[in-house]
Amino acid sequence: MALSDTDLDLLFRTARTPVRWSTMPVAEETITALYDLVKLGPTSGNSQPGRFVFLHSQDSRERLRPALSAGNVDRVMTAPLTVIVAHDPIFFDKMDRLSDMPDLRSWFAADVGLSEETATRNGTLQGAYLIMAARALGLDAMPMSGFDSYMVEDTFLAAQGWRANFIVSLGYADGVPEAPRAPRLGFDEACMLL
């Protein structure tokens, strides 16, 4: 079984990062429906290090403003929802419950290089699942890394000790971008078939 062409369009082919946002809000039920999909994506040893801070209220989004790069302020601040994609560097504290492989917790706890790499890689995978799940639910997604991650961590993540990775604004696009899609690398440039 595979997705229809229309569905592949929605996820990949006609999906575009929006230029302008409509004023249509994102419902709170959509946020929980989104996480209920994201959480199912595969992670290494079911470690699930990804953490998601949904800035939904006007007040919470205003607290993000000073951390944004100048060129990103307008397009993030006009979005009805922005998600901080983060990860928990101490994710392994939950491993005994998440995996029946013995001793994963102490394996990660003993090796900060391994646990840091696992948190970053798998938190990033989960951030991509968020982008795809958002599109699957009919939302438009605008991922970006142009912000001050230390300021975001100070403002939003200090109590939890989570680390900021990237942000994704979500909402409903106002129109389709006028510019054609930017060029993509050809198979022969980006792939080898051996």
CB of 139 to a copy of itself, least distance (A): 9
3-state secondary structure 114-174: HHHHHHHHHHHHHHHHHHHHHHHCCCEEEEECCECHHHHHHHHHCCCCCEEEEEEEEECEC
Please name the residues in contact with 121: beta carbons below 8 A apart, sequence gap of 6 or more. Answer: 44
**Does position 44 bind a copy of itself by CB under 8 A?**
yes
Q: What's the gap between Cα 36 and its chain centre?
A: 14
Q: Which stretch binds a copy of itself (CB under 8 A): 19-27, 72-80, 102-110, 113-121?
A: 113-121
Which CB, 3 or 24, lies closer to a copy of itself? Answer: 3
Instruction: Restricting to residues 49-68, name those near a copy of itself by CB under 8 A.
Output: 50-57, 60
Q: Kindly tell me which of 23 and 71 has the beta carbon lying closer to a copy of itself.
A: 71
* Residue 2 interacts with a copy of itself (CB under 8 A): yes or no: yes
Q: CA angle, corner 81, sides to 77 and 87, nearest 5? A: 105
Residue 112, interface with a copy of itself (CB under 8 A)? no
The residues that bridge with 84 in the sheet, in sequence order, are 53, 167
- Under rule CB under 8 A, how many of the chain's residues touch a copy of itself? 74
Q: Does 107 bind a copy of itself (CB under 8 A)?
A: no
Radius of gyration of the chain from its Cα atoms, rounded to whole angstroms: 18
CA neighbor of 77 nearest in space, from 61, 54, 93: 61
For residues 84-103, which are near a copy of itself according to CB under 8 A?
Answer: 94, 97-100
Task: Kindly identify the residues of this chain, within the stretch 128-187, that bind a copy of itself according to CB under 8 A.
Answer: 128-129, 131-133, 136-138, 141, 143-145, 156, 160, 165-166, 181-185, 187
* Per CB under 8 A, 105 contacts a copy of itself: no
